[in-house]
Amino acid sequence: MKKLTSLSCLAALLAAGVVNAQSLDGTLKKVKETGAITIGHRESSIPFSYLDANQKPIGYSMDLCAKVVEAVKAELKLPNLEVKYVPVTSQNRLPLVEGGTVDLECGSTTNSVARQKQVDFGVATFVTNVKTLVKANSGIKDIDSLNGKAVVTTQGTTSDSLIKKHEKGANINFNNVYGKDHADSFLMVKTDRASAFVMDDILLAGLVANSDNPKDYAIVGSTLRQEPYGIMFRKNDPAFKGLVDKVLKGLMKSGEINKMYAKWFTSPIPPKNINLNFPMSAELKAAIANPTDKGVE
Q: Which amino acid is at 201?
A: D
Q: For position 171, what pLDDT does the model report?
A: 80
Pair 109, 141 in one domain: no
Pair (113, 51) in one structural domain: yes
pLDDT tens digits for 154-210? 988 888 888 888 877 778 898 999 999 999 999 999 999 999 999 999 999 999 998
Q: Cα separation of 109 and 116, whole Å?
A: 12
162: in domain: yes
One domain for residues 222 and 234: no
| Residue 182 domain-assigned (yes or no) | yes
More confident residue, 145 or 28: 28
Q: What is the mean pLDDT of residues 98-121?
A: 97
Within this chain, do residues 118 and 161 fall inside the same structural domain, yes or no?
A: no
Check whether residue 239 and residue 109 sit in a common domain.
Answer: yes
Whether 117 is covered by a domain: the verdict is yes
Q: Is 168 helix (H, G, I), strand (E, B) or coil?
A: helix
pLDDT higher than threshold 60 for residue 233? yes
Full residue range of the structural domain in which residue 275 is found? 25-125+230-289
The DSSP code sequence of 200-268 is EHHHHHHHHHTSS-GGGEEEES--S-EEEE--EEESS-HHHHHHHHHHHHHHHHHTHHHHHHHHHHSSE
pLDDT at residue 106 tops 50:
yes
Q: Are 99 and 30 in contact (CB under 8 A)?
A: no
Tell which of 188, 204, 227 closes a domain: 227
Q: Do residues 58 and 70 both lie within one domain?
A: yes
Span 234-258, pLDDT tens digits: 999 999 999 999 999 999 999 999 9
The answer to whether residue 3 sits within a structural domain is no
- CATH number of the domain that residue 46 is part of: 3.40.190.10
Confidence tier at 40 by pLDDT (50, 70, 90): very high
208 and 223 together in one domain? yes
Whether 135 and 250 map to the same domain: the answer is no
pLDDT of residue 172: 85
Asked whether the beta carbons of 61 and 111 are under 8 A apart, the reply is no
- State the distance between the two ends of the chain, measured CA to CA, in whole angstroms: 68
Instruction: Provide the pLDDT for residue 162.
Output: 86
For residue 17, name the pLDDT band (cuts at 50, 70, 90).
very low
Percent of the chain clearing pLDDT 70 (strictly above): 93
Number of domains in the chain: 2
* Per-residue confidence (pLDDT) for residue 12, from 0 to 100: 44
35, amino acid identity = G
Residue 73 sits in the same domain as residue 147: no
**pLDDT given at position 21:** 47
The amino acid that residue 45 corresponds to is: S
Q: Which of 206, 227, 248 is the last residue of a domain?
A: 227
Q: What is the pLDDT of residue 164?
A: 85
Q: Is residue 172 part of a domain?
A: yes
- 10 Å Cβ neighbour count for 117? 9
Q: What average pLDDT is seen over the chain?
A: 91
* Residues 216 and 189 grouped into a single domain: yes
What is the pairing mode between strands 217-220 and 126-135?
Answer: antiparallel
Nearest CA among 199, 189, 216, 196 for reference residue 156: 199
Helix 201-209 × helix 182-190 angle, to 10°: 60
The pLDDT of 264-288, averaged and rounded, is 95
Examine residue 271 and say whether the peptide bond preceding it is cis (omega within 30 degrees of 0): yes
Q: How many CB atoms are located within 10 Å of the residue 193 CB?
A: 12
Per the domain annotation, does 12 fall within a domain? Answer: no
Tell me: pLDDT of 231 over 80: yes
**Distance of alpha carbon 197 from alpha carbon 134, whole angstroms:** 7
